[in-house]
Amino acid sequence: MARADQKNSYLIIHLHYFSRRFFLIFLLSSGIYCYSQEPHGNMQVSLPDTNLSLERSLLLLERKTDLYFSYNPEILDLEDDFIWQQGVHALDDILQVIEERQDVNYTIIGNQVVFYLPGEEPGLVIPIEERDPDQISKISGQILSGMDRTPLEFATIWIPATWEGTISNSNGIFMINLPGPDPPDTIAVSCMGYSSRKLPVSDLHDSLNRIFMSPAIIPIQEVIIRRSEPLHLIRQALDKIEDNHANDPVIETAFYRESIQKNTRYIMVSEAVIEIYKSGRNSITSEQVRLLKGRKNMDFNEIDTVMVKLKGGLQTSFMLDIIRHRPEFLDPGLFHLFNYKMADIVTVQDRSTYAIEFNQKSHTDPPHYQGRIYIDMETMAFRGTEMEMDPKTISSATNAMVLKKPRNIKVRPLSAAYQVSYKSDGEKFYLSMIRADVRFRIRERKKIFSNEFRTISEMAVTNLQTDQAVRFRPRETTNSGDIFADLLGGYDFEFWGPYNIIIPDESMDEALKRISRLMEMNIED
């Protein structure tokens, strides 16, 4: 494999182009620190002479110790400023200052400092990776339309009353893990335009279950409401973000995959289970990513003269979160640049939802965007968007999408489509799924024939932690703007253990088996 890589010309593609970028460089001063064989509370910590908010103080302490901080953000005032005197202090003395100022208690359990309210018991979240694999059962199936029995892609499958779940692939196939020792007795399935179903686990068998979904019928009185002025609905949804979408820090467990196809052949698949720390919605700090488990399969052979790499796929996924990063078509100051019209009323998780179409006006600067915005009729919450670059103007984004290429290569973008959806925990809406699908044509000079490449990045949030959500240590994180392909591994379903993933579709499944065999042959050679 390495010999083939040396002969390839590298083409680096960015999955998305935005006219807006938000960056934050957050620096904390480093100091000398030491570890002790004494209990954690007696640990000596060197502090600078500084004034820091509680949030930054905890980050500084994490960097100087081997401890994590766990807490419910609602019980702490993270913006509270603390004045620290330069010198070496006992950790207990520092924590007692925080305890008295914030009117909370703390205890140290293992390598975690847990803050909790007086009179309550401290609690720790058991990580997914620490679950007993012998107590985990798996349910697999295929989601189909009850009308014509066609597969339903990107259906949501989850465990009711929790956030744990996954989505179906392009063939409607899914697999979900049921944690023990007391596994849930029900799973739920939903898909846009169809009535949700709750299925007793006892009715499902070990082999592939076929689950048929019934189209949802919209009451006639709701159809009449579709005459509402679309911009009025969008403004209402923007005003209701504070009520509908969570503003507290969260940690999301997600399955993330990037794939590259050359014509009809998969040539690279990178996939991982990651944890994402997101600060409050109004915070300007960027997302953090912690890699839990990942692998890469690639098949570039001697006849390949162009090797495609993707840059910033994770960063693209975060930028597509329209609640945290407001796109131009949801900016009231830029509404005059777009056309909006009511398109339909659809059902999402048994809730009637407005579908509003938008397209960018032709006189504006290209590339132009078009798509749909989905807004819950009852709560006026954003349920998601589907958007794409207008194929007629996508060529204007070539320089932004193609970050590096050899001089003898011509690249022409063909299409770029994006999806994002949100799911409710019963009170607030959280990110559920993001997908970016980009196609482009590559031709080498002096060659008659060209090749079509397709890059897909997809991320499904499979679990959510809203309590004790604290930032990761810098050394644990990976840069979301880097090329996400420096992972190793092979084809093995057991590789993922207790984590929920998106099952590969049929063509990718065969490609993973083929590429895995090639990788094994190269290792033996």
In this prediction, residues 240-269 reach a mean pLDDT of 89
* pLDDT at residue 239 greater than cutoff 70: yes
Question: What pLDDT is attached to residue 406?
Answer: 75
Question: What pLDDT is attached to residue 114?
Answer: 78
Residue 21 confidence class, pLDDT cut points 50, 70, 90: very low
Residue 485 confidence class, pLDDT cut points 50, 70, 90: low
In this prediction, residues 18-35 reach a mean pLDDT of 28
Question: What pLDDT is attached to residue 36?
Answer: 31
* pLDDT at residue 499 greater than cutoff 50: yes
HSE of 373 in the Cβ direction (CA atoms, 13 Å)?
31
* pLDDT at residue 498 greater than cutoff 50: yes
* pLDDT at residue 188 greater than cutoff 60: yes
d(CA 193, CA 353): 10
In this structure, are residues 16 and 312 in contact, taking their beta carbons and an 8 Å threshold? yes
Question: What pLDDT is attached to residue 35?
Answer: 30
Question: What pLDDT is attached to residue 174?
Answer: 94
Question: What pLDDT is attached to residue 129?
Answer: 53
DSSP codes of every residue in 389-454: E-TTTGGGGHHHHEEE--TTEEEEEEEEEEEEEEEE-SSSEEEEEEEEEEEEEEEETT-S--EEEE
Burial of 226 (0-12, 13-18, 19+ CB in 10 A): middle
d(CA 231, CA 330): 10
Average pLDDT score over the chain: 79
What is the DSSP code (8-state) at residue 245? B
Three-state DSSP class for residue 199: strand
Helix (H) or strand (E) holding 5: helix 2-7
Question: What pLDDT is attached to residue 55?
Answer: 79
Task: Judge if pTM exceeds 0.85.
Answer: no
Q: Which tokens in the block code for residue 348?
A: 């999402």
In this structure, are residues 360 and 327 in contact, taking their beta carbons and an 8 Å threshold? no
Lowest-pLDDT choice from 4-18, 143-157, 176-190, 347-361 = 4-18
Kindly report the CATH number that applies to the domain delimited by 128-213: 2.60.40.1120
Residue 335 confidence class, pLDDT cut points 50, 70, 90: very high
CA nearest neighbour of 68 among 27, 39, 35, 40? 40
Burial of 81 (0-12, 13-18, 19+ CB in 10 A): exposed
In this prediction, residues 493-517 reach a mean pLDDT of 77
Residue 248 confidence class, pLDDT cut points 50, 70, 90: confident
In this prediction, residues 468-491 reach a mean pLDDT of 68
In this structure, are residues 216 and 195 in contact, taking their beta carbons and an 8 Å threshold? yes
State which fold the 40-116 domain adopts.
Phage tail protein beta-alpha-beta fold (3.55.50)
pLDDT tens digits along 397-431: 887 777 777 778 888 889 999 999 999 877 899 99
pLDDT tens digits along 88-127: 888 888 999 998 999 988 887 666 687 888 877 665 444 5
pLDDT tens digits along 291-303: 888 887 776 554 4
The residues, ordered by sequence, that sit 6+ positions from 92 with a Cβ below 8 Å of its Cβ are: 41, 42
Q: Which tokens in the block code for residue 521?
A: 């042959």
CA nearest neighbour of 295 among 49, 491, 2, 23? 491
In this prediction, residues 63-72 reach a mean pLDDT of 70
Domain boundaries in the chain? 2-21+224-489, 40-116, 128-213
In this structure, are residues 245 and 281 in contact, taking their beta carbons and an 8 Å threshold? yes
Question: What pLDDT is attached to residue 74?
Answer: 67
Residue 25 confidence class, pLDDT cut points 50, 70, 90: very low
Residue 184 confidence class, pLDDT cut points 50, 70, 90: confident
Question: What pLDDT is attached to residue 309?
Answer: 67
